[in-house]
Amino acid sequence: MPIGTFNINQINVNVTDIIPPDNFATITKNGMPGNTYSIIEDNEWRADVEATTQSGIKGVAKPGLPYDPVTNPIPTPWTSGTNLYEKYDVNQSGNFPNFIDVNDEIITVSPTDIQLNEVQIWIKNGVAEKILKAMPQASVNVRLWDSLSSIDFPLTEGNQIIKNNIHWIVDEGQIAQSTDIPGTSIKWIQIGNSESTDDNEFSVLIGSIWDGNKYFNITTNTSLTINKNISQGYLVVKQDLVGNKTLTVEGVSLDINLNPDKRSLIGYILIGTNLMFSINKNLIETTVSIPDSQNPSQPTLTTENITHNSVNLVMTGATDNIGVVGYDIYKDGVFLTSTNSNNYQVTSLLLNTSYEFKVKSKDAAGNVSVFSNTVNPTTLAQALPISLTFSVHDGSFTTLSDGVHRITTQNEVGVSDQTLIGDGYFEFGGNVIGSIMFGLDDVSTLRAYGNPLVWNCHVIVGNGLGANYVNYRNGTQSQQGSPSGILKYRFSRIGTQVKLLKSTDGTNFTDLYTYPNAISGELWLKLSNPVGGTATTEYVKLLNL
């Protein structure tokens, strides 16, 4: 909100002992003051509104009605032109189904739009737009009850008066007659209060709390604090006959020495920790500390990506007056950890085991919500391998399908996106086309197979040299073989020991070769074509245990 502008539910105040003569002031529905401006400025605004909104009027748009060629015609859009509009006046709130905006949504006009603005619907090239021309004040004046005559009645909802120094407004849906006396008739609602009609009973004590709308005298220098649960309010302050009094609010000294025995209209609004006062038309701004004691709302907890030893917890829906900063996670009724993310992976769980999780949302001040709903995920009975992807590779490397890859140029390399972190294995099919070299490497770069070999270990599987064979190598060691009937191979690592295993039935594996060097840390699987031509894998999968 710009400093110096208060335009929420504005009304025109012309009580002469509060506002200087020949001027208007805007205050909110609850009496909060805003700008003061002259009659000349008001007339200039009205001329501007008239010039803007009267051009090109096509008629009055009516809410909630279907197309009718006479009473509610569909707009006939102009098809060209830079600033050509059809303009429809709007004097009722509601939905306007014949007018569709740029987002293909029905134009909607709220009661507040009607109350605070001149409203039109403009059509340009078949697209509707709601146009609001803000009014500096609404059409309702605050008048003194004793000044009203019979010709001023009836008063409809929203009309406001002051009677015996108390501010009243006609309630929603009511019509007040002269016999409906404020304070005795239910048609009136009090929006500015005082405890008595005797000014002497409105004296404020030093150290009082300003908790919304007040009207009182001050007879001495006075200090106030603000009830910060009430974000805005106003004071009508009347000094005694001596005047020259000081009013201090939240440590800010306010100059209200206009005239002795005269009223001053003071408003405040809190935006975050920014405190602004409006004393008649002058603004004072300061910053105050607002303690946060409001708890966040209850979060909603769901699960995703359940594996044999982990589960992801997803927290949504929690809100807070300042902001949610994190969550406390409970496992099986016991606090587990805190996180500032709304997605947290719980690890180190047991196979085929059910767990109970619930969370609390929290804010920066340490306020916490009630518990979320409870979720009861069950981990998988066994670990499941995943198919590997290879986004880092040379030019002749292509992915044919999930876990199936082809390399057509000799010694070009693909590097797996996923890695073996600790214990686990890489598994690949034995029925390759051509010859594929599978290797483990502790770097993610495209360093190719060569002489001397730089990968930590590798195996060549295929028939590219004229016979089915497997060549498994580590350092300078090499062993040749011509195995038959092998469906699958695995690089398996437990601790730092890596083995090559084989399976002839696709399920059970036996040792084929143990690599002599210890291989620790994160490992990437690398694929290469050692002899050129077409080389295609059967599948490649990874399992981290």
Q: What is the mean pLDDT of residues 473-489?
A: 67
Question: How many angstroms from the chain centroid is the CA of residue 99?
Answer: 29
The pLDDT of residue 192 is 47
The pLDDT of residue 209 is 64
Claim to verify: residue 463 and residue 502 sit in the same structural domain:
no
The pLDDT of residue 465 is 52
Residue 210 has pLDDT above 90, yes or no: no
Residue pair 525/426 in contact (Cβ under 8 Å)? The answer is yes
Nearest to 142 by CA among 13, 23, 8, 17: 13
Residue 26 has pLDDT above 60, yes or no: no
Mean pLDDT computed over every residue of the chain: 75
Query: pLDDT (tens digit, 9 = 90+) per residue, 408-441?
Result: 998 899 999 999 999 999 999 888 888 888 989 9
Claim to verify: residue 473 and residue 519 sit in the same structural domain:
no
Q: Is 200 helix (H, G, I), strand (E, B) or coil?
A: helix
373 or 481: whose pLDDT is higher? 373
Q: What is the mean pLDDT of residues 224-248?
A: 73
Q: What is the mean pLDDT of residues 246-251?
A: 78
Pair of tokens at residue 493: 């690592």
The pLDDT of residue 74 is 58
The pLDDT of residue 159 is 78
Sequence letter at residue 280: N
Residue pair 26/137 in contact (Cβ under 8 Å)? The answer is yes
Q: What is the mean pLDDT of residues 128-141?
A: 60
* Range from 192-196, 270-274, 523-527 carrying the lowest mean pLDDT: 192-196
Ranges 82-96, 108-122, 484-498, most confident: 484-498
Residue 227 lies in a domain: no
- Domain boundary (433, 451, 481) is at 481
121 or 214: whose pLDDT is higher? 121
Interatomic CA distance for residues 49 and 499, integer angstroms: 84
For every residue of 251-276, which 3-state class applies, written as one string? CEEEECCCCCCCEEEEEEEEECCEEE
Residue 523 lies in a domain: yes
Residue 18 has pLDDT above 60, yes or no: no
The pLDDT of residue 152 is 82
Ranges 155-164, 227-236, 467-476, 478-487, most confident: 155-164
Claim to verify: residue 467 and residue 533 sit in the same structural domain:
no
Residue 133 has pLDDT above 60, yes or no: yes
Claim to verify: residue 531 and residue 514 sit in the same structural domain:
yes
Claim to verify: residue 448 and residue 496 sit in the same structural domain:
no
Name the percent of the chain lying above pLDDT 70.
66
Residue 110 lies in a domain: no
Q: What is the mean pLDDT of residues 233-253?
A: 74
222 or 79: whose pLDDT is higher? 222
Provide the pLDDT confidence category of residue 41 given band limits of 50, 70 and 90: low
Claim to verify: residue 429 and residue 414 sit in the same structural domain:
yes
Question: Which parts of 408-496 are beta strand (E)?
Answer: 413-420, 424-429, 435-441, 457-462, 469-474, 477-481, 488-494
Residue 150 has pLDDT above 90, yes or no: no
Residue 512 lies in a domain: yes
- Domain boundary (435, 452, 481) is at 481
Claim to verify: residue 399 and residue 465 sit in the same structural domain:
yes
Residue 256 has pLDDT above 70, yes or no: no
Query: What is the residue whose two structure tokens read 């972190």?
Result: 421
Q: What is the mean pLDDT of residues 75-104?
A: 68
Residue 4 lies in a domain: no
Residue 260 lies in a domain: no
Claim to verify: residue 458 and residue 388 sit in the same structural domain:
yes
Provide the pLDDT confidence category of residue 160 given band limits of 50, 70 and 90: confident
Provide the pLDDT confidence category of residue 4 given band limits of 50, 70 and 90: very low
The pLDDT of residue 19 is 40
The pLDDT of residue 33 is 45
Residue 510 lies in a domain: yes
Query: pLDDT (tens digit, 9 = 90+) per residue, 61-87?
Result: 777 766 666 666 655 544 444 445 677
Q: What is the mean pLDDT of residues 228-234?
A: 71
Residue 328, domain extent: 300-363
Q: How is the beta sheet containing 311-316 ordered, strand by strand?
A: 300-304, 311-316, 343-346
The pLDDT of residue 318 is 93
Q: pTM above 0.85?
A: no
Ranges 220-234, 265-279, 303-317, most confident: 303-317
Claim to verify: residue 515 and residue 461 sit in the same structural domain:
no
477 or 100: whose pLDDT is higher? 100
Residue 464 has pLDDT above 60, yes or no: no
Provide the pLDDT confidence category of residue 119 given band limits of 50, 70 and 90: confident
Residue 415 lies in a domain: yes
Burial of 240-271, coded b for 16+ CB within 10 Å and e otherwise, reads: beeeebebebbeeebebeeeeeebbbbbbbbe
Claim to verify: residue 502 and residue 453 sit in the same structural domain:
no
Our CA dihedral for 29, 31, 37, 43, rounded to 10 degrees, sits at 30
Based on the structure, what is the number of domains in the chain?
3
- Domain boundary (443, 460, 481) is at 481
The pLDDT of residue 349 is 92
Claim to verify: residue 452 and residue 512 sit in the same structural domain:
no
Cβ-based neighbour number of residue 175 at 10 Å: 14
The pLDDT of residue 170 is 81
